[in-house]
Amino acid sequence: MSFSTRPHDASAPPPMKNEMANSRPSLIVQSGETDDAQISPVSKEKQDAKPWAHLLAGGVGGMTAATLTSPLDVLKTRLQSDFYQAQLKTLRGAHPLPASSSSILALPRNAMIHFGETFQILRSIHVHEGWRAMFKGLGPNLTGVVPARAINFYVYGNGKRLINEYFNYDPATSPMGVHLTAAAIAGIATGTATNPIWLVKTRLQLDKSNASNIPGRGRQYKNSWDCIRQTVRQEGIRGLYRGLSASYLGVSESALQWVMYEQMKRVLAEREARRMADPTHVPGWTDSAESWSGKLVAAGFAKFFAAVLTYPHEVVRTRLRLVPTVPAGGGKVALKYTGLAQCFRTVWIEEGMAGLYGGLTPHLLRVVPSAAIMFGM
């Protein structure tokens, strides 16, 4: 038996205790089973991103997505308006479809016709109004999407952190209510701050210069500032906040999207933890590819599901921002849509479910890839 020649210090702490505590692995395997692997708390720096990181990520991602998908945004806004829905109705009335003997065959045929009409309108915009019309409203769109995404990411990220700290929740296992509350607050803050910008964008995109087919009629608005001046002069400051009630209703979309994305991301993280805890697993490029593609799919699916479920509020918001009028007798006109519930009811009675989902196809083609890129990267 040998003894250490190193002098013993009674006041010294047991050797390796601090080292063991500081070198705790990021994955803990219990009872040798990989299914029981859990992610241990990581450092504070990794848990909580810097506040400005949420701001920068949302701003840059939103600007890139808005520029690349601007033609689809113009198409979606036009299909949401009652003016273009009336044109489509007239076109379908002039060229009725032959009756189908099978309802099973009618569904894919109608879907193909819908896609054809959608991209036919997109082509007609380019032919009759030029390529610049495909990016009409991009200025206010960029002006709005950068602060909108930045505010949304900033308020959501930091709101979630503050709620977790207040209730002493572990960020890795915080309940769904935390994500739901943070997302709702972020949606309300974003909608309130940026509603005037989206109103200007919508009116510029639907400025019927050539699309109205009225000879000699010029553009109603020269630019964004002229649109703001005319809106304030004719409708007051409140005019800049038309459609805000529908935007608040749309908070449900962002809240549902965030919650679904967070839950799917947690499942992916647990799956990765179990894989990395497996002693037989050899890390490789497939791990990074699976993690990257998993986040993309999670972000895209969350946006797709939330957008389809809550899309009617987008149509109602566009209609309220346009302020269309109808004859009221005696040479006077009255507002066609006077409020949120009345707008829903009018669109349902006049156009049915198809009217409440007008423009859904270009909307999904625009927002799903955008969300996948912005959230998944």
The answer to whether residues 310 and 330 touch, using CB atoms and an 8 Å cutoff, is no
Does residue 181 lie in a domain region? Answer: yes
Does residue 23 lie in a domain region? Answer: no
Q: What is the domain range of residue 179?
A: 49-92+105-277+284-376
The answer to whether residues 191 and 248 touch, using CB atoms and an 8 Å cutoff, is yes
Calpha distance 132→112 (Å, rounded): 28
58 pLDDT band (50/70/90 cuts)?
low
pLDDT in tens, 319-340: 888 888 888 777 788 888 888 8
Does residue 237 lie in a domain region? Answer: yes
Report which DSSP code applies to 325.
E
Does residue 29 lie in a domain region? Answer: no
Q: What percent of the chain has pLDDT over 90?
A: 11
* DSSP-assigned letters across all residues of 275-318: HHH-TT----HHHHHHHHHHHHHHHHHHHHHHHHHHTHHHHHHH
Calpha distance 300→289 (Å, rounded): 16
57 pLDDT band (50/70/90 cuts)?
low
Q: In the predicted model, what is the mean pLDDT of the chain?
A: 75
Count of beta carbons in the 10 Å neighbourhood of residue 196: 19
Does residue 327 lie in a domain region? Answer: yes
* DSSP-assigned letters across all residues of 13-65: PPTTHHHHHHT--SEE-STT-GGG-EEPP--HHHHS--HHHHHHHHHHHHHHH
Calpha distance 247→316 (Å, rounded): 9
Sequence-distant (≥ 6) Cβ neighbours of residue 180 within 8 angstroms:
255, 258, 259
28 beta partners: 38
Burial 200-215 (b: 16+ CB within 10 A, else e): bbbbbbbbeeebeeee
Calpha distance 102→50 (Å, rounded): 58
Calpha distance 163→159 (Å, rounded): 6
Does residue 18 lie in a domain region? Answer: no
The answer to whether residues 182 and 259 touch, using CB atoms and an 8 Å cutoff, is no
311 pLDDT band (50/70/90 cuts)?
very high
pLDDT in tens, 21-36: 444 333 333 333 433 3
Q: What is the CATH number of the domain that holds 110?
A: 1.50.40.10
Does residue 41 lie in a domain region? Answer: no
Does residue 212 lie in a domain region? Answer: yes
The number of distinct structural domains making up the chain is: 1
pLDDT in tens, 237-274: 998 998 898 888 888 888 888 889 888 988 888 888 88
pTM of the model: 0.63
Reading the block at residue 116, the tokens are 């054809």
